Amino acid sequence: MVNLIIDNKPITVEDGATILEAARKINIRIPTLCYLDLGELKMVNKVASCRLCVVEVEGRKNLAPSCATPVAEGMKVTTNTKRVLFARRRLLELLLSNHPFDCLICAKSTDCELQALVWEFGINTQRYHGEKSSYPIDKTSQALKRDPEKCIMCRRCETMCNEVQTVGALTAFGRGFNTIVGPAELQPMVESNCVYCGQCVSVCPTAALTGVGYIMETWAALFDPTKTVVVQVAPAIRAAIGEEFGLPVDVPVTGRLAAGLRRLGFNAVFDTTFAADLTILEEAKEIIDRVRKNENLPLLTSCCPGWINFLEFHYPTLKYMPSSSKSPQQMMGTLAKTYYAQKIGVKPEDMIVVSVMPCIAKKYEAVRPEHCTSDARDVDYVITTRELTKMLKENGIDLRHMDDEEFDNPLGEATGAGVIFGAAGGVLEAALRTVYEEVTGQELEDVNFTAVRGLAGVKEAVIDLNGMTLNVAAASGLGNARKILENIKQGTSKYHVIEIMACPGGCINGGGQPYSEERMERIQERVKALYQIDSGKALRKSHENPSVKKLYEEFLGEPGSEKAHELLHTNYWY
Amino acid sequence: MPRITSYSELIDTCQRLKPLLDNRVNTDIQAGGKRLILVCSGTGCQASDSQQIVANFQELIAGKQLENTVQASITGCFGFCAKGPIVKVYPDDVFYVQVKPEDATEIFEGHILGNERVRRLLYDEPVLNQKVETQHAMFFYRKQMRIALRNCGLINPEDIDECLASGGYLALGKVLTEMAPETLIDEMKRSGLRGRGGGGFSTGKKWEFARHYQSEEKFVICNADEGDPGAFMDRSIMEGDSHSVLEGMAIAGYAIGAQQGYVYIRAEYPLAVKRLQIAISQARSLGLLGKNILGSGFDFDVAIKLGAGAFVCGEETALIHSIEGKRGEPHTKPPFPAQSGLWDKPTIVNNVETLANVPAILTRGADWYSAIGTKTSKGTKVFALAGQINNVGLVEVPMGTTLREIIYNIGGGIKNGLEFKSAQTGGPSGGCIPRQFLDTPIDYESLNSIGSMMGSGGMIVMSEKDCMVNIAKFYLEFTVEESCGRCLPCRIGTKRLHEILTNITEGRGTEADLVELRELSGVIIDTSLCGLGQTAPNPVLSTMNYFWNEYEAHVKEKRCPAGVCQKLLCYEILPEKCIGCTACARSCPVGCISGVVKQAHLIDQYKCIKCGACMTRCKFRAIIRQ
């Protein structure tokens, strides 16, 4: 333990702690910008590049960046001297001098950490004038938007991309004033090895990295009388969108969300959770087949498009491992334009499918060429939780004052198993509920596989299926996935089924979710919300979903049937 | 030569080879015996064809079949680069300057065969205003004390025999056989040697820290990423005496318990790289690097890592990142490299000049070394003299030598008899020292106290014709260019500083700018991540402190007193001198001079682009620049 004094307050902290950590313990607030510690998600960015957290340390010649300076015995720190405040203000003014001033029309306005600091500091004049960096905006990927002029070189995205996700798509280039973060050789994003997991977006303090927006396209579709516009909402949306309307965590928003979407003008409001149940049936069939034949194991889940991109770029030799089932989003898109379109007598080309996803990679997934079952894209536009919020607000829809409504049928009914897809470990748990009953023929009494829940990077469990042992694991965060994949490559993996989610914690922490200063608390709450919905459901096993059963009876035959394969399965690149 | 397997065998070998250097060390041996022609083969002289000079000499010698009495060979840098190529004749101690390949015949026939010095090629000493006969008589060398540069210009750097003849690797042998690492570190601490790369941290202490941390692997890095504009002592040492650096690294390795060393050198130094490669392979073949050095059981090897030429990679943590294959940018210290450096192992990073001093200190003892210099700064320092000075080149002087001695004695005074204005030391991190400090004995502390720093030893001399605002702008331009871009104050702050300076030199400066310059400088110093940013405003602050009147003139009067800042110049025609020849009007590229033939002309100040063409053209000195 180390004793030190901050602003005349004595404090004892653990060895190796930073001044910033120590100060926060005694509620001394030091402004930060580049610094980020996502605790349980194991993402720490302390490159000390913005220097806004500088403090005075007695005996030290220059100011110390509190985020990266370890405490020392007897240290005397002052966080609010004239010298410190003067330096911080000038630094912020310098940062502004190379930042666009289009805050009013910036995608990040009111969610921008730079803007918030400038507001806090009360800066209302422009001290420095001079050359500003000028770079084109990169929207080539149709998923991730890169606007380098808004980059403040905090390097959070780099830390996330390289150290947490181990994707290695972003790095700093150039020198001095011309330094810029981007993909290799500053080539367009679409030509990079970016997997569009969107975690960089979720940590970017400004609008340097955001999602490519489809609000205008969606409005255009909604107001086009010749189109039937169908919307689907991913499980994780209901756990997060309430935040944007200031709703308390314990208020369920699923019904209000369905109502809000209907009010927006969608002709049918479907639930991706239905498709999640469907995914489980197809995937469970594959699991059982492969485990029984003991071939091509482990089976890797395939509902996360960021993870699939990662597999294709980094582990192309393992492309036979994932389940061939399409993701719930794409299953829903396909069914909407086939099964549902036929049912209501609309030509697929007259139907527009909009997805509301917590995700950036879903935007990319929707434009992949193989997802065109009926000559048009199965999913036309993917908007994020944040984009939907904006649309609702523009339309005057306040979820605080909405009454609950149900999703539309036939693609709107869901079980608790589908809902927990939104949290890391949820897909695996949902699959286990079905696999157990399929294999053993017995009813699963306790459906809660708690061992695979939570925010840990890798969770594992051993499941006894009446004599057949299933070793399963759930990894979230691509860095954790990489560790598991390396084991598979070396033949040392013991698992039969592995769920992989690109985002640490799963979809509830996706790159399209609402921004929050208290991100970790929000994530915990979102996880809790999903499991609450699950436990409150009468039906908690995908194979019990009546609408899914009906779909097989009317249209698909049985899980793994030829028709199911034609419509609900896909294959991977390389 | 077979592997040398013990210290005693090394001593014997050195003794046996010693005569190789006899007629170089004892220059009083009179002509008549064997003669040696040494031609500088440093980068500068090679660029002026010095290799052809050696070849020509060798051909002439062979032509006369004089191989037994005359030899021609290459050697390292003499430090007198502005007057290169240099040819030195031993034992006569004759120093020829600016020799061309075709001059070989004249030297050979006149001097070697005819015993007559070629006076034309002797150095014209500016202090005496006459030709000097021997190197020892040159003011440039008289006050120098060469420890780090001891073998440069003395031995053939590509021949390890000559290195051994000069006592090379004896210090390593002594240390491995007779000294425990702790004793060695004590000796180094006692010697008072401080880092020559700029920081000035005690070398012995640095080693002690690294020794203190337990680790299976440790590393010694030689920082050869010399980047200060105008400084080239490290390059010269590596080109002229690579072995001294390797020996220093091996000793450092023994001290801290490392078995692997890296020389991080910029790829723009191809000759130094080549010489290092030769030296490493020679040392390996003699068992002076590699496994079980001199039978002591100590293993140490050295690899070369090429840098891509970023100034910031001279910062030790950035350098380490670069070796690791990462982007060359620094990180916050602590942890210091001594605790967690290359591949997170304890690492010491020592500069070339520092390491070259190590063998000399251990051979002659800490007492000898610490007797040289000042109270806090021991030994000698190599300076790269440049700018408005007569003798441009490398000089090694004891710490505590005054600027006046260096500039007016060794340096031969200011060019063209101009007035001294300032000396800039410490490269882009340093400051400009004005006239009143000419008699300050130079060491780490004194330079810091007058707003400059030792840095790696660049010393650029400025005369009355230099504009100090412009000089500050020049250095800022360098740091803006070389900033790694990681931390905000350095990335954007230096850019804004540079922009303010540009405004001032172009006549757009305001008095508020002068206040801002100081304040912003303070913030950059206070908040930058690494030494580059923390020192970047030094040239601004020191020039503001000592040459405030120049800043004021630029801002208040829109005038550049030194007549350097182009946009502030004013060309005027003196009507009483103008005869109306029209030459100026015809030469003006923007047609801003009007006038009738045989009548005084006039310059339109609004149109004038200050190119100076008219002034050059006027034969009657009728155009003045203000």
pLDDT at B32: 57
pLDDT at B28: 62
Verify that B414 and B364 share a domain, yes or no. no
pLDDT at A468: 87
Verify that A344 and A196 share a domain, yes or no. no
Verify that B242 and B325 share a domain, yes or no. yes
Q: Is the pLDDT of residue A514 over 90?
A: yes
Verify that A409 and A552 share a domain, yes or no. yes
Distance CA B351, CA B337 (A): 14
Q: Is the pLDDT of residue A351 over 90?
A: yes
What is the tens place of the pLDDT at every residue in B440-467? 999 999 999 998 999 889 999 999 999 9
- Note whether B332 contacts A: Cβ–Cβ < 8 A: yes
Of B301, B218, B207, nearest to B263 (Cα)?
A: B301
| Residue A158 belongs to domain spanning | 103-128+136-211
Q: Domain boundary at B142, B171, B204, which?
A: B142
* CA of A528 vs chain B CAs: smallest distance (Å): 39
| Mean pLDDT on A210-219 | 97
Domain count, chain B: 5
Q: Please report which confidence band the pLDDT of residue B22 belongs to, taking 50, 70 and 90 as the band edges.
A: confident
Domain containing residue A540: CATH number: 3.40.50.1780
| Dihedral sign from CA coordinates of A499, A504, A505, A506 | negative
- How many CB atoms lie under 10 A from the CB of residue B441? 15
Distance CA A213, CA A139 (A): 10
Distance CA A508, CA A41 (A): 13
Give the chain B residue whose CA is nearest to the CA of A57.
B526
Domain containing residue B230: CATH number: 3.40.50.11540
For residue B130, being part of any structural domain is answered with yes
Q: Please report which confidence band the pLDDT of residue B557 belongs to, taking 50, 70 and 90 as the band edges.
A: very high
| Two tokens, residue B110 | 């006149």
SS3 A414: coil
Strand partners, A500: A475
For residue A496, being part of any structural domain is answered with yes
Q: Domain boundary at B466, B484, B516, which?
A: B466
**In contact, A302 and A308? CB cutoff 8 Å:** yes
pLDDT at B27: 62
Verify that B578 and B518 share a domain, yes or no. no
A95–B310 CB contact, under 8 Å: no
Verify that A328 and A431 share a domain, yes or no. yes
Q: Is the pLDDT of residue A193 over 70?
A: yes
Verify that A187 and A244 share a domain, yes or no. no
For residue B441, being part of any structural domain is answered with yes
Q: Is the pLDDT of residue B30 over 60?
A: no
| Mean pLDDT on B584-600 | 92
Q: Domain boundary at A169, A193, A211, which?
A: A211
Q: Please report which confidence band the pLDDT of residue B24 belongs to, taking 50, 70 and 90 as the band edges.
A: confident
Verify that B359 and B491 share a domain, yes or no. no
For residue A574, being part of any structural domain is answered with no
For residue A430, being part of any structural domain is answered with yes
**In contact, B429 and B523? CB cutoff 8 Å:** no
| Mean pLDDT on A124-140 | 95
pLDDT at A574: 62
What is the tens place of the pLDDT at every residue in B100-149? 999 999 999 999 998 899 999 999 988 788 899 899 899 999 989 999 99
What is the tens place of the pLDDT at every residue in A161-171? 999 999 999 99
Verify that B358 and B389 share a domain, yes or no. no
What is the tens place of the pLDDT at every residue in A18-66? 999 999 999 999 999 999 999 888 899 999 999 999 999 999 999 999 9
* CA of A38 vs chain B CAs: smallest distance (Å): 21
Domain count, chain A: 3
Verify that A329 and A475 share a domain, yes or no. yes
Domain containing residue B579: CATH number: 3.30.70.20
Cα A55-A60-A63 angle, rounded to 5 deg: 30
For residue B339, being part of any structural domain is answered with yes
Q: Is A136 exposed, middle or buried (0-12, 13-18, 19+ CB in 10 A)?
A: exposed
Task: Choose the mutation target among B491, B518, B530, B534 for the interface with A, i.e. most A CBs under 10 Å.
Answer: B491
B487–A62 CB contact, under 8 Å: no
Q: Domain boundary at A196, A211, A226, which?
A: A211
Q: Domain boundary at B352, B370, B388, which?
A: B370
Verify that A7 and A93 share a domain, yes or no. yes
Give the chain A residue whose CA is nearest to the CA of B334.
A69
| Residue B539 belongs to domain spanning | 469-556
pLDDT at B25: 78
Q: What mean pLDDT, rounded, does chain A reach?
A: 95
What is the tens place of the pLDDT at every residue in B92-109? 899 999 999 999 999 999
**DSSP 8-state assignment for residue B377:** S
Verify that B17 and B120 share a domain, yes or no. yes
A51–B496 CB contact, under 8 Å: no
Q: Is the pTM above the cut of 0.80? A: yes
pLDDT at B43: 93
For residue A326, being part of any structural domain is answered with yes
For residue A30, being part of any structural domain is answered with yes
What is the tens place of the pLDDT at every residue in A282-307? 999 999 999 999 999 999 999 999 99
pLDDT at A10: 96
- Note whether A71 contacts B: Cβ–Cβ < 8 A: no
Domain containing residue B119: CATH number: 3.40.30.10
SS3 A59: coil
| Two tokens, residue A522 | 């929000």
Give the chain B residue whose CA is nearest to the CA of A70.
B334
**In contact, A29 and A42? CB cutoff 8 Å:** no
User: Please, which residues 176-235 of chain A have a Cβ atom closer than 8 Å to chain B?
Assistant: 176-179
Dihedral angle at the C-alpha atoms of B497, B503, B505, B507, nearest 10 degrees?
Answer: -160
For residue B162, being part of any structural domain is answered with no
For residue B160, being part of any structural domain is answered with no
Measure CB to CB from residue B482 to each of A62, A70, A175 and give the nearest one: A175
pLDDT at B39: 96
* Cis ω for the linkage preceding B19 (within 30 of 0): no
For residue B170, being part of any structural domain is answered with no
Verify that B272 and B365 share a domain, yes or no. yes
**In contact, A289 and A549? CB cutoff 8 Å:** no
Q: Which residues of A touch B486 (CB under 8 A)?
A: 47, 49, 153, 155, 172, 179
For residue A21, being part of any structural domain is answered with yes
**In contact, A508 and A234? CB cutoff 8 Å:** no
Q: Is the pLDDT of residue B431 over 70?
A: yes
Distance CA A102, CA B246 (A): 57
Verify that A195 and A227 share a domain, yes or no. no
Q: What mean pLDDT, rounded, does chain B reach?
A: 94
Verify that A276 and A292 share a domain, yes or no. yes
Verify that A157 and A261 share a domain, yes or no. no
Q: Which residues of A touch B533 (CB under 8 A)?
A: none
Give the chain B residue whose CA is nearest to the CA of A175.
B484
Known catalytic residues of A are 283, 286, 303, 323, 362, 365, 370, 507
Q: How far is CA B333 from the centre of its chain?
A: 27
B499–A50 CB contact, under 8 Å: no
A176–B334 CB contact, under 8 Å: no
- Note whether B536 contacts A: Cβ–Cβ < 8 A: no
Domain containing residue B423: CATH number: 3.10.20.600
Domain containing residue B477: CATH number: 1.20.1440.230
Distance CA A103, CA A207 (A): 10
What is the tens place of the pLDDT at every residue in B495-534? 999 999 999 999 999 999 999 999 999 999 999 999 999 9
* CA of A88 vs chain B CAs: smallest distance (Å): 9
Verify that B440 and B391 share a domain, yes or no. yes
Verify that B516 and B473 share a domain, yes or no. yes
pLDDT at B610: 87
For residue A573, being part of any structural domain is answered with no
- Note whether B308 contacts A: Cβ–Cβ < 8 A: no
Q: Please report which confidence band the pLDDT of residue B230 belongs to, taking 50, 70 and 90 as the band edges.
A: confident
Measure CB to CB from residue B534 to each of A62, A172, A174 and give the nearest one: A62
Element counts in chain B: helices (H) and strands (E) = 26, 19
Q: Is the pLDDT of residue A13 over 90?
A: yes
Give the chain A residue whose CA is nearest to the CA of B327.
A172
For residue B152, being part of any structural domain is answered with no
Verify that A309 and A233 share a domain, yes or no. yes
For residue B530, being part of any structural domain is answered with yes
Q: Which residues of B touch A152 (CB under 8 A)?
A: 488
A94–B334 CB contact, under 8 Å: no
**In contact, A323 and A496? CB cutoff 8 Å:** no
Q: How many beta-carbon pairs below 8 A join chains A and B?
A: 104
Distance CA B299, CA B214 (A): 18
Verify that B18 and B134 share a domain, yes or no. yes
- Note whether A318 contacts B: Cβ–Cβ < 8 A: no
Verify that B30 and B122 share a domain, yes or no. yes
Domain containing residue A158: CATH number: 3.30.70.20
Verify that A72 and A120 share a domain, yes or no. no
DSSP secondary structure string, B34-61?
-EEEEEE-SHHHHHTTHHHHHHHHHHHH
Q: Please report which confidence band the pLDDT of residue B88 belongs to, taking 50, 70 and 90 as the band edges.
A: very high
B489–A94 CB contact, under 8 Å: yes
pLDDT at B556: 96
* Contacting residues for A87 by C-beta, under 8 A, at least 6 apart: A51, A54, A63, B523, B526, B527
| Two tokens, residue B31 | 């002509």
Exposure string over A295-317, b if 16+ CB within 10 A, otherwise e: eebbbbbbbbbbbbbbbbbbbee
Measure CB to CB from residue A176 to each of B331, B485, B520 and give the nearest one: B485
Verify that A403 and A514 share a domain, yes or no. yes
Q: Is the pLDDT of residue B626 over 80?
A: no
* CA of A50 vs chain B CAs: smallest distance (Å): 5
